[in-house]
Structure 1
Amino acid sequence: MRLLLGGYTADMQGAARGIGVLRAGEADAASAGGPLAFEGEAVVTGGSPSWLAWHPSLPVVYAAMEGAGTVQAFRRSGAMGLTRLGGPAEVGEAPCHIAVAPDGASLIASCWGDGRVVRVRVDAEGRPGPTAAAGAARDPYAREGSAGAAGAAADAADLSDAVAFAVAGQRYGDDAREEQQGSQVLDLTAAAEALRQVAGDEFAHLVPEYAMPEPPVVAAGAGPDADAGAPAARSSHAHQTVFLPGGVLATADMGFDLVRFWRGGDGGGGMRALPDVVLPRGSGPRHMVWHPSGHLYVVTELSRELFVLAPDAAGAWRLVSGTPLAAGTLADDTAAEVCLSRDAQFVYVGVRGSDTLAVLRVRGDGSQVEPVALAEAGVAWPRHHMVVLDTLLVAGQRSGDVAALTLDIRTGLPGRPRVRTSAPSPTCIVPLR
């Protein structure tokens, strides 16, 4: 089969020239079990097409041109070529992900640089058109700027959620983080009582019967400024949006440790914000995958955890469970892509730094996952990966190659890299349709 490769070009310090073509096995086969070969560019883009997404019914693929801050459409031409369709749509700073609506009438661009979540209308031919940005994210851990009873109520409610999810995240943290925080846990009862006093009688019920431990250490550059003695500024970084059943969208905001939820985004009408889910401070939610059981699996880049979310009876999304990705990840590792096995019984997460793949098993009704193993990815800086039948294809951004690993259908474990091929700065793999 043939696949398209997104990549980083010179504007993002990469070696790619545009959207590449990868052949895995026979060109017209449905499997990827044969040799790998890079077959050149489907189109030279003049910028970095770091993420690719197909229109659901048209031979049109959309590229997030990360360095340019735009979305560009390309129409398939010939056996493996692409041609530009329309002009670029400006969406924001460093768009790193595109999700196309199931009806093909719009797409959502997630911008890492400025946190914007932008809907782009798509015409009948697939051309991107007018854009509309959703409301900006609000940092749930910022307590400044509120005033009056309404502000106090909002703060108390936000802090209640933040405390609950931070404590849950603390429980799921890795051994190193638990050891580090062991001496920092507060007297939960006393702290909660103090918080209720600040909130006042009217809002005291919003504070849970515990208090938040010291937040986990945030990655370098995002944590407290030791010299100034004040926390460093946090910024919104939208990293991915996914369309969920029932017309709901979810956006992972890595900078504000949020999973934001919306209703709408298809066809006409705007995106109406629903309640956010707050994850532990500094965890950095990056990418998500919807499980057929109805749960949403969220991988956190900085804390290297997998959280499970689900809607309650009223439709509000809540944190259900979570776990570290695996024992053996390194303190400076960062998680990347997450995907499911063909039967949805296993979850695969790329871990950059140690250059491994975390394998987790889905338990029960899908509400629980447990670590199984940490396997070699076979590439340097596994930015993206995908499952094709019994093969796991892994894109090595820094090693400049793609590796194929055979999956054991009984255990879910990937074997050692079977074959690999050079490919310039690959960041995304999608089938060529």
Structure 2
Amino acid sequence: MTRFWVGGYGDDMDGDAEGIGFLSVDEGRGASTLTYRGTAAPVSSPSWLAQHPTLDVVYAALEGSAAVQAFGRSGEATLRPLGRPVDAGKYVCHLAVSPDGRMLIASCYGDGRVIRYGLGADGSIVPAAPDRAAALRAALFGESDAEDAGEPGAASDPYPTPTGEEPRASHAHAAVFLPDGRIATTDLGFDLVRIWRSAGTGLALDHEVVLPRGTGPRHMVMHPSGHLHVVTEYSCEVFTLASARDGSWALASATTASPIAQVGFDTPAELALSRDGHTLYTALRGSNTISALRVRGSGEAVEPLALADSGVDWPRHHLVHEGVLLVAGQRSGTISAIDLDERTGAPRDVRHTTSAPTPTVILPTR
């Protein structure tokens, strides 16, 4: 039996999850059976979960509460709070933990903030100091105290606002640690991938990669080749970024996420990579489909491979596990298991579904 933690939306985010849930996947007679086994830790809207690399500690983004919190394993199917919730930005929606387990990065959709927290030896979150939070706001939005904080002011919207239109807003959405220790974050509102480096106890902007206007970069996955794949929520595309010898990142290629994607109707969510690195999977909310893309060459490009029904409504998150794709359906309140072709990686039939309260993320337990 394989076990997973499940994050979801609670009543403060128009959902019915009562906290971090517990899911089991039982293998038998060549089929996987999913069972949602209840609440592992009561907490408000843990919409994203991240695992510590060495400790049995889980971090939750409490999206409706604008906070993050750590949880330690207290039993086979239970978690206990590891300290109180720590303030974050508005609608914090994603967390990433550094490979050395010493840093947590929170991306905040509501106000565009990217926040760095230290992590203690026990995995607990060290709250960001007030001056550190101010410095990060300055770095993101170019506020007047940026120079005093010792961090560069980041450019705002790289595209001029057309006459008669309201200015766009920054929406940080995800973070990935790069092989050299820097951090890449997406800004869905400004069509940017930002590259950060650690500076003291905070972050300093290194440079930015500007994507075409209106694409809406959302989530990312690091390919073993060193390329960074980015899925866009608005334009239904997958962009591949490559790093040059001087450490700068730039666009290498782009492709549609699905040949049947309808811009304005379909909105891609997660981007997941197969174990062998040959296949990417994205989910299209709207048509409720799973699109598989073949990774070409040494990872510098991808191309559509196959399309399948996700088995859920509004597939917000998915992951690959032992030849099966698990998909969290936010609106249907279900999680599905989809078979993957062993040879090509293409998604096939929905093997099984189980009910789960407004699921938004699935995380394997340690």
TM-score, scaled to structure 2 = 0.90
Match for residue 246 of structure 1 among 177, 180, 187: 180
Is the aligned partner of 1:137 residue 2:71? no
Could you tell me how far 1:18 is from its partner in structure 2?
A: 0.4
Q: Specify the SS of the correspondent of 2:12.
A: helix
State the partner residue of 1:408: 341
* Cross-structure match for 2:166: 232
Whole-angstrom CA distance in 2 between matches of 1:78 and 1:346: 35
Distance (Å, rounded) in 1 between the aligned partners of 2:79 and 2:298: 42
Aligned-residue offset at 1:326: 1.4
Match of 1:357 among 284, 290, 299: 290
**1:38 maps to what in 2?**
36
For residue 281 of structure 2, what is the aligned residue in structure 1? 348
Indicate which of 236, 246, 249 corresponds to 1:314. Answer: 246
Q: Which residue of 2 aligns with 1:202?
A: none
The alignment partner of 1:25 has SS state of: strand
Q: 3-state SS of the aligned residue for 1:399?
A: coil
**Matched residues in 1 for 2:10 and 2:262: separation?**
29
Matched, 1:76 2:8: no
**Retained in 2: the 8 A contact 1:60–1:74?**
yes
Aligned partner letter, 1:258: L
Q: What's 1:13 paired with?
A: 14
Richer in strand (by share): 2
Counterpart in 2 of 1:22? Answer: 23
Q: Which has the larger radius of gyration?
A: 1
1:367 aligned partner:
300
1-structure distance, mates of 2:357, 2:242: 38
Question: Runs of at least 4 residues of structure 1 off by over 3 A?
Answer: 135-139
1:164-313 superposed matches below 5 A = 230-264=164-198, 269-313=201-245
> How far has the Cα of 1:384 moved from its partner?
0.2
Q: 5 Å matches for 1:324-339?
A: 324-331=256-263, 332-339=265-272
Structure ranking higher in helix proportion: 1
Report the equivalent of 1:97: 94
Does structure 1 residue 381 correspond to structure 2 residue 314? yes
RMSD: 2.1
Q: Which amino acid aligns with 1:75?
A: G
The letter of the residue matching 1:262 is W
- Cα deviation for residue 273 of structure 1 reads 1.3
Equivalent pair of 2:9/2:358 in contact (CA under 8 Å): yes
Q: 1:330 Cα deviation (Å)?
A: 2.1
Task: Give the distance between the partners of 2:187 and 2:81, measured in 1 at CA.
Answer: 30
Structure 2 counterpart of 1:54, one-letter code: Q
- Contact 2:307–2:347 (CA under 8 A) maintained in structure 1: no
SS in 2 for 1:339: strand
Task: Quote the Cα distance in structure 2 between the aligned partners of 1:253 and 1:33.
Answer: 40
Which runs of 5 or more residues in structure 2 are unaligned?
A: 143-153
Which whole-Å deviations, capped at 9, do the CAs of 1:107-131 have from their partners, x for residues lacking one? 0000000000001111122211221
1:121-142 CA-to-partner distances (Å, cap 9, x unmatched) read: 1112221122134344369xxx
1:57-68 alignment, distance < 5 Å? 57-68=54-65
SS in 1 for 2:64: coil
Aligned residue type for 1:234: R
- 2:151 is aligned to none
Check conservation: 1:348, 1:360, Cα contact below 8 A: yes
- 1:41 and 1:366 map into 2 onto residues whose CA distance is 39
Corresponding position of 2:147: none
- Aligned-pair CA distance for 1:272: 2.3
Q: Is the 8 A contact 1:138 1:256 kept in 2?
A: no
Q: 1:120 aligns with which of 99, 117, 120?
A: 117
Kept in 1: contact 2:8–2:357 (CA 8 A): yes
2-structure distance, mates of 1:424, 1:410:
34
Question: C-alpha deviations, 1:23-59, integer Å up to 9, x for none?
Answer: 1115xx9xx95211100010111x1000001111111
The amino acid of 2:122's aligned partner reads: E
2: CA distance between counterparts of 1:359 and 1:292?
18
**SS of match in other structure, 1:420:** strand
Moved more, 237-246 or 407-416: 407-416
Q: In structure 2, do the counterparts of structure 1 residues 62 and 33 end up closer, same or farther at CA, with 3 Å as the change threshold?
A: farther
Query: What's the offset of the Cα at 1:401?
Result: 0.4
Distance 2:68 2:167 in 1: 29
Q: Tell me which residue corresponds to 2:145.
A: none
Q: Which amino acid aligns with 1:405?
A: I
Query: Hey, what's the Cα distance between the residues in 2 that align with 1:301 and 1:35?
Result: 31
| SS of residue in 2 equivalent to 1:92 | coil
Q: Could you tell me which amino acid in structure 1 is paired with residue 307 of structure 2?
A: L
Q: Which amino acid letter does the alignment assign opposite residue 392 of structure 1?
A: L
Match of 1:185 in 2: none
For the residue of structure 2 that corresponds to 1:71, the secondary structure is strand
- Whole-angstrom CA distance in 2 between matches of 1:418 and 1:330: 27
State the partner residue of 1:210.
Answer: none
1:7-34 Cα shifts (integer Å, max 9, x gaps): 00000000110000111115xx9xx952
- Quick check: 1:49 aligned with 2:50? no
